[in-house]
């Protein structure tokens, strides 16, 4: 069967110590169901809403998120932000000091932090000048010790989607895991790769409640993966990695009115992105606005440091990417509410006027 031929042997990819692991079994793992008297976890018996440990399997929240993201619950791992999912993936697959990880560059800074803290070599492969993915160059950096490739689509800080065929080709060509970080997928018109994990079991999709779902303060991120991978990741995470307070609040913000509201916010943000992409190039100091499938624009300007300082002095904070290789001369500007975007345009116009008059 063609599908079987594309299946990768996940067990062979695991670190040996992880493959041999017996998971810590919590009191709540051993007894599931409901009882009247719980004397199994040394909790306080006095109810204040938080005296009990939360569900380590996060069943109720997983159901709600699976529905919102249109995926199967058994393919879902939840973490304290997608940052936790990144760290758990490294701990599951990469032998410190031995294995390596390949990522694109420029991209999300957390891949660098997480590989460094896990003592895993990170090989960065530059995107082309237009930030498109060079699949050949990426595969050339992969060797038998490459356990994970980190791709980010839409990519941060460039904003563009990576080519779908290139991503699939990399996943097919490698024995290791291909992570597709889709933190910004809700702002794009691409369906993402969650539907592909069944036929290509070495693809792991990362998503988050931090961006379009407007819950960055809650810290909930996810990996969407083959159930075999989800099971091992769940074994390695801290049992109670999401607090009861987090679970309660996330559920509250995933109800139908909230989902309707975030959908409207996403469509406003996409409209505003188009307006900003059209208006910014009319300003004298703006050299280029890169196409974006996310909720931010990478903008090349005459003097990024000076414009950054000017905007900061007016109370507007953007992200200075001037020192990021491949992003020289750029600022990354998040799309805000319409009135905030107006202020950005107005202040950049003022700045350009001042520079011209100097
Ligand atoms: C913002 C962002 C995330 C989100 O991380 P959380 O830990 O879930 O808040 C993940 N990946 C990328 C590329 C991001 O830009």
Ligand 1 atom, smallest distance to 208 CA:
8
61 has pLDDT over 60:
yes
User: Is 294 within 8 Å of 270 (Cβ atoms)?
Assistant: no
Which pLDDT value is given to residue 1?
Answer: 42
Question: Does the beta carbon of 154 sit less than 6 angstroms from any atom of ligand 1?
Answer: no
Residue whose C-alpha is closest to residue 159's, from 284, 4, 35, 295: 295
| Residue 5 pLDDT exceeds 60 | no
- Ligand 1: residue whose CA is nearest its atom 14: 183
Q: Which atom of ligand 1 is nearest to the CA of 211?
A: 1
CA-82 nearest atom, ligand 1: 8
Give tens-digit pLDDT for 235-276.
999 999 999 999 999 999 999 999 999 999 999 999 999 999
CA of 62 to the centre of ligand 1 (A): 19
Contacts of 328 (CB under 8 A, 6+ apart): 304, 322
Statement: the pTM of the whole predicted model exceeds 0.85: yes
**307-319 pLDDT per residue, tens:** 999 999 999 999 9
State how beta strands 330-334 and 296-301 pair.
Answer: antiparallel
**Section 6-24 average pLDDT:** 90
Residue 263 CB contacts under 8 Å (≥ 6 apart), including other chains:
none
CA 321–ligand 1 middle distance (angstroms): 17
In short, whether 208's Cβ falls inside 6 Å of ligand 1 is yes
Could you tell which of 110, 161, 218, 219 is best to mutate to test the pocket of ligand 1, judged by most ligand atoms within 8 Å of the CB? Answer: 110
> For residue 109, how far is its CA from the centre of ligand 1 (angstroms)?
10
User: Coil, strand or helix: which one is 91?
Assistant: helix
Q: Which residues contact 44 (CB under 8 A, 6 or more apart)?
A: 51
Q: Is the pLDDT of residue 30 over 90?
A: no
Dist. CA 157 → ligand 1 center (Å): 11
With a 6 A CB cut-off, is 81 part of the ligand 1 pocket? yes
- On the question of pLDDT at 3 being above 50, the answer is no
221 lines ligand 1 (CB under 6 A): yes
Question: CA torsion sign, 159 to 163 to 169 to 171?
Answer: positive
Gap from CA of 183 to ligand 1 centroid (Å)? 6
Q: How far is the centre of ligand 1, averaged over its atoms, from the C-alpha of 38 (Å)?
A: 38
User: Which residue's CA is the closest to the ligand 1 atom numbered 6?
Assistant: 81
Atom nearest to 219 CA in ligand 1: 9
Q: Nearest C-alpha to atom 15 of ligand 1 is from which residue?
A: 156
Show Cβ contacts of residue 156 under 8 Å, excluding neighbours closer than 6 positions.
Answer: 107, 108, 183, 184, 294, 296
Q: Give dist(CA 58, CA 63) in Å, integer.
A: 9
Does the pLDDT value for residue 126 go beyond 90? yes
């Amino acid at each position: 069967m063609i599908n079987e031929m594309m299946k990768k042997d996940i067990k062979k990819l695991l670190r040996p110590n992880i493959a041999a692991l017996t998971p810590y079994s919590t009191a709540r793992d051993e007894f599931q169901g409901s009882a009247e008297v719980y004397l199994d976890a040394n909790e306080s018996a006095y109810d204040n809403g938080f005296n009990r440990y939360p569900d380590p399997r996060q069943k109720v929240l997983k159901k709600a998120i699976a529905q919102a993201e249109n995926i199967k619950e058994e393919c879902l791992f939840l973490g304290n932000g997608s940052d936790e999912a990144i760290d758990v993936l490294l701990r599951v697959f990469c032998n410190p000091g031995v294995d390596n990880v390949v990522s694109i560059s420029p991209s999300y800074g957390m891949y660098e932090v997480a590989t460094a803290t896990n003592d895993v070599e990170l090989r960065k492969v530059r995107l082309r000048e237009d930030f498109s993915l060079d699949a050949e160059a990426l595969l050339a950096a992969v060797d038998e010790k490459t356990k994970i490739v980190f791709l980010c689509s839409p990519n941060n800080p460039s904003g563009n989607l990576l080519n779908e065929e290139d991503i699939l080709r990399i996943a097919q060509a490698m024995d290791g895991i291909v992570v597709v970080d889709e933190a910004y997928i809700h702002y794009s018109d691409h369906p993402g790769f969650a539907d592909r994990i069944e036929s290509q079991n070495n693809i792991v999709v990362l998503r988050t409640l931090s961006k379009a779902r407007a819950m960055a303060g809650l810290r909930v991120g996810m990996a969407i993966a083959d159930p075999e991978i989800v099971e091992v990741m769940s074994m390695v995470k801290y049992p109670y990695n999401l607090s009861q307070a987090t679970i309660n609040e996330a559920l509250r913000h995933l109800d139908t009115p909230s989902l309707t509201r975030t959908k409207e916010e996403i469509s406003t943000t996409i409209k505003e992105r188009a307006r900003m992409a059209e208006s910014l190039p009319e300003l004298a100091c703006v050299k280029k606005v890169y196409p974006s499938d996310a909720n931010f624009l990478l903008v090349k300007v005459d003097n990024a440091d000076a414009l950054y300082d000017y905007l900061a002095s007016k109370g507007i904070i953007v992200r200075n990417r001037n020192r990021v290789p491949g992003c020289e001369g750029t600022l990354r500007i998040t799309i805000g509410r319409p009135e905030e975007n107006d202020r950005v345009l107005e202040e950049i116009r003022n700045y350009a006027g001042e520079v011209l008059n100097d």
